Amino acid sequence: GQNIDQPTEMTATEGAIVQINCTYQTSGFNGLFWYQQHAGEAPTFLSYNVLDGLEEKGRFSSFLSRSKGYSYLLLKELQMKDSASYLCAVKAAGNKLTFGGGTRVLVKP
Amino acid sequence: GAVVSQHPSRVICKSGTSVKIECRSLDFQATTMFWYRQFPKKSLMLMATSNEGSKATYEQGVEKDKFLINHASLTLSTLTVTSAHPEDSSFYICSASRQGMNTEAFFGQGTRLTVV
């Protein structure tokens, strides 16, 4: 079966850094994705990891350790507009994505 | 710009009626599309995999006779919620990926269905 865990909610201050962890246990692994979703909108793609290590893209970075079944999304220099839900998703067989429960991040001034 | 278009974005229907939601890939062909359902403050739950030219594959617990999926062309999949009830009210989202395994999923804008 598929099991993807991430914290439900996190709060951080504008300008700070927040790290969102994701652990997974899946049958098959073809990559891990992070998506951002604002309330009432569709998810938008942030990052993709298939090999171990860190992928950096501007203020956002994502890390993967396949042996540990672990990933994190790092958000730097937080802005108010970063308040959103962040979804960890694993691609297993074919193109099927299984999502974690999502982490709501609240950025405070 | 958007590469997957979903229509309508909002729909209100009466109990017992059916509603059709369309999902189109705009600049690529998608042999497979996915339909998700999302409850407030919850994550996306995969309902079914839509396969062009063949039957959809439904996830456990999803009623195939209630949520009819048709994928008649390489750019269009439809989800029809039949005999809708208030408990079917939800946010429905489709996704599609370009060919190749290691590609991101593009999501439609989502459809907010309210059954009254």
Question: SS3 of B87, please?
Answer: helix
Q: What residues in chain A have their Cβ under 8 A from chain B's Cβ atoms?
A: 30-31, 33, 40-45, 48, 50, 85, 87, 89, 91, 94-102, 104
CB contact under 8 A, B49 and A96: yes
Q: What is the pLDDT of residue B42?
A: 85
Residue B101 has pLDDT above 70, yes or no: no
* Closest CA relative to residue A96, chosen from B76, B25, B49, B103: B49
- Using CA atoms, how far apart are residues B109 and B22, in angstroms rounded to an integer? 11
- Using CA atoms, how far apart are residues B110 and B98, in angstroms rounded to an integer? 19
User: Is the CA virtual torsion B3, B99, A85, B78 positive or negative?
Assistant: positive
CB contact under 8 A, B104 and A45: yes
Chain B contacts of A87, Cβ < 8 Å?
A: 43-44
Residue A94 has pLDDT above 80, yes or no: no
Copy the structure tokens of residue A31. Answer: 């990559």
Share of chain B above pLDDT 90, in %: 70
Q: What is the pLDDT of residue A66?
A: 95
8 Å CB contact between A58 and A87: no
Residue A80 has pLDDT above 60, yes or no: yes
- Provide the total of helices (H) and of strands (E) in chain A, helices listed first: 0, 11
* Closest CA relative to residue B44, chosen from A30, A34, A99: A99
Place of tokens 């690529």: B28
| pLDDT per residue as tens digits for the range B64-80 | 999 999 998 889 999 99
| pLDDT per residue as tens digits for the range A24-69 | 998 889 899 999 999 888 899 999 999 999 999 899 999 999 999 9
- Using CA atoms, how far apart are residues A66 and A52, in angstroms rounded to an integer? 6
End-to-end CA distance of chain B: 34
Chain A contacts of B102, Cβ < 8 Å?
A: 30-31, 48, 50
* Closest CA relative to residue B29, chosen from B96, B108, B79: B96
Among chain B residues, the shortest Cα distance to A99 is held by B44
Neighbouring CB atoms inside 10 A of A96's CB total: 19
The more confidently predicted of residues A1 and A72 is A72
